[in-house]
């Protein structure tokens, strides 16, 4: 099919040309006297992305899932209890991993379409008078349902009952797209990946670890090797890695961080909020459909999960958009499979790109019989974009 594929899944996201060019490099000796400069540039740049002075970023040749495992295996002991709310596919998978690794998992079942239930977290921690819960796990942005959660409120809930549990946050589809403040929010481990807001190909697990969590990792007896924080600390001190890193991806990461900082993180966040609001205008005002996120407080600025009307199959919308219009939309996962399709509006994205996503989704829905008015979504989104502007904090 002529033309480029239009990629509007919530990861992997579009990779800017600057980053693509930065990755076209010859291979080099990752033990050379000069290579450490690249490693340190990436690590120090990530400190700015995480908004941390005290935290320690790590770059694993993995994905966010690998960093989930690293967080659990480094900071906890076998049989420790963790507390997690399950309100989407990725919070479910993190809980499942914890159970499979042999940890006790206390799950706060939450409707898919809502975010982290702060008061239920608070109540569970208040009831844990023996402090058997060693870590609180939370997903900042649930990619499967387009739901954003209030991480500062969760930290406040933990502090309000004076519970010593670690706070571990999945920010895979939030970091570098919506605000995240490692130090200010008291996060002990943040987990992310290269393929979303960082505008990179998949392949790098990006994480940041507090001093408290690193100290606990020194005495943890949970088995680990590839994901051992200690090995990373020793090697990263001079910009090197315990094993062979992906050299092109590191060059790409350095360039992606430079682009984000040139734009300014607050401007990046404002841009994402602006683009997301236009897509939501198309869904709610133009098409008259519903989002999976049940209330505005949960709306994600990186991905919108759109509910198709009863009796229709969202998978057919996705298939039609791909086969006929060369456009990739995100699929519904697990409980929402066939009920939603997703538009990712994060990373290297702008107004016209989002309008293209809306247009492709609109005509694909019409093709499969969903009763939306031609042009309605595009009109609503374009009206929003023309009458508003991004407002950096």
Q: What is the pLDDT of residue 392?
A: 60
Q: For the chain, list residues with pLDDT below 50.
A: 393
**Separation of alpha carbons 150 and 297, rounded Å:** 9
**Separation of alpha carbons 133 and 105, rounded Å:** 9
Query: No. of H helices and E strands in the chain?
Result: 13, 14
**Separation of alpha carbons 285 and 234, rounded Å:** 54
**Separation of alpha carbons 199 and 180, rounded Å:** 17
CA angle 135-203-271, nearest 5°? 80
Q: What is this structure's pTM? A: 0.97
CA distances from 194 to 89, 120, 166, 254, 263 (A): 19, 32, 24, 11, 18
Residue 362 near residue 352, CB atoms below 8 Å: no
Structure tokens at 129: 């008078």
Q: Do domains 17-262 and 265-387 have the same CATH topology?
A: no
CATH code at 17-262: 3.40.640.10
> At which residue do the structure tokens 């980053």 appear?
19
Query: What's the DSSP call for residue 282?
Result: I
- Helix spans in the chain (H): 17-23, 35-50, 64-75, 89-100, 118-127, 151-160, 211-217, 229-236, 247-263, 265-281, 314-325, 351-367, 376-387
Q: What is the pLDDT of residue 1?
A: 74
Q: CB atoms < 10 A from the CB of 34, how many?
A: 9
Residue 13 near residue 192, CB atoms below 8 Å: no
Q: What are the residues whose beta carbons fall under 8 Å from the beta carbon of 48, sequence distance 6 or more?
A: 257, 261, 265
**Separation of alpha carbons 38 and 374, rounded Å:** 50
Q: What is the pLDDT of residue 393?
A: 46
Residue 143 near residue 172, CB atoms below 8 Å: yes
- Tell whether domain 265-387 is in CATH 3.90.1150.10: yes
Residue 275 near residue 357, CB atoms below 8 Å: no
CA angle 90-91-92, nearest 5°? 85
Q: How many residues does the chain have?
A: 393
Give residue limits of the domains in the chain: 17-262, 265-387
CA dihedral 256, 259, 263, 267 (to 10 degrees): -10
Look over the chain and give the mean of its residue pLDDT values, rounded to a whole number: 97
Q: Bridge-partner residues for 209, per DSSP?
A: 56, 189
């Amino acid at each position: 099919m002529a033309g480029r594929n239009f990629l509007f899944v919530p990861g992997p996201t579009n990779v800017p040309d600057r980053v693509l060019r930065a990755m076209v490099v010859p291979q080099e000796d990752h033990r050379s006297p000069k290579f450490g400069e690249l490693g340190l540039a990436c690590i120090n740049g990530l400190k700015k992305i995480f908004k941390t002075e005290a935290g320690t970023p790590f770059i694993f040749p993995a994905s966010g899932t690998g960093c989930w495992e690293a967080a659990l295996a480094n900071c906890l002991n076998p049989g420790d209890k963790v507390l997690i709310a399950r309100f989407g596919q990725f919070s479910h998978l993190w809980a499942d991993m914890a159970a499979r690794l042999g940890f006790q998992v206390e799950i706060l079942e939450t409707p898919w379409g809502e975010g982290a239930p702060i008061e239920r977290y608070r109540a569970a921690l208040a009831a844990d008078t023996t402090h058997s819960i060693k870590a609180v796990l939370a997903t900042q942005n649930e990619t499967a349902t387009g739901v954003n959660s209030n991480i500062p409120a969760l930290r406040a809930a933990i502090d309000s009952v004076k519970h010593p549990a670690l706070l571990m946050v999945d920010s895979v589809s939030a970091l570098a797209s919506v605000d995240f403040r490692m130090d200010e929010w008291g996060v002990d481990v943040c987990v992310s990946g290269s393929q979303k807001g960082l505008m990179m190909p998949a392949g790098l697990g990006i994480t940041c670890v507090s001093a408290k969590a690193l100290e606990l990792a020194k005495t943890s007896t949970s088995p680990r090797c590839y994901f051992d924080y200690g090995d990373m600390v020793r090697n990263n001190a001079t910009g090197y890695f315990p094993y062979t890193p992906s050299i092109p991806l590191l060059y790409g990461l350095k360039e992606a961080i430079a682009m984000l900082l040139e734009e300014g993180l607050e401007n990046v966040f404002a841009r994402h909020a602006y683009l997301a609001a236009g897509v939501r205008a198309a869904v709610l005002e133009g098409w008259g459909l519903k989002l999976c996120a049940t209330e505005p407080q949960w709306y994600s600025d990186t991905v919108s999960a759109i509910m198709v009307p009863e009796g229709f199959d969202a998978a057919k919308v996705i298939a039609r958009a791909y086969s006929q219009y060369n456009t990739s939309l995100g699929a519904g996962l697990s409980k929402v499979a066939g009920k939603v399709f997703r538009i990712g509006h994060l990373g290297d994205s702008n107004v016209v790109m989002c309008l293209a996503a809306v247009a492709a989704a609109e005509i694909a829905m019409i093709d499969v019989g969903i009763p939306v008015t031609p042009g309605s979504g595009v009109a609503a989104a374009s009206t929003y974009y023309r009458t508003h502007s991004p407002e950096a904090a």
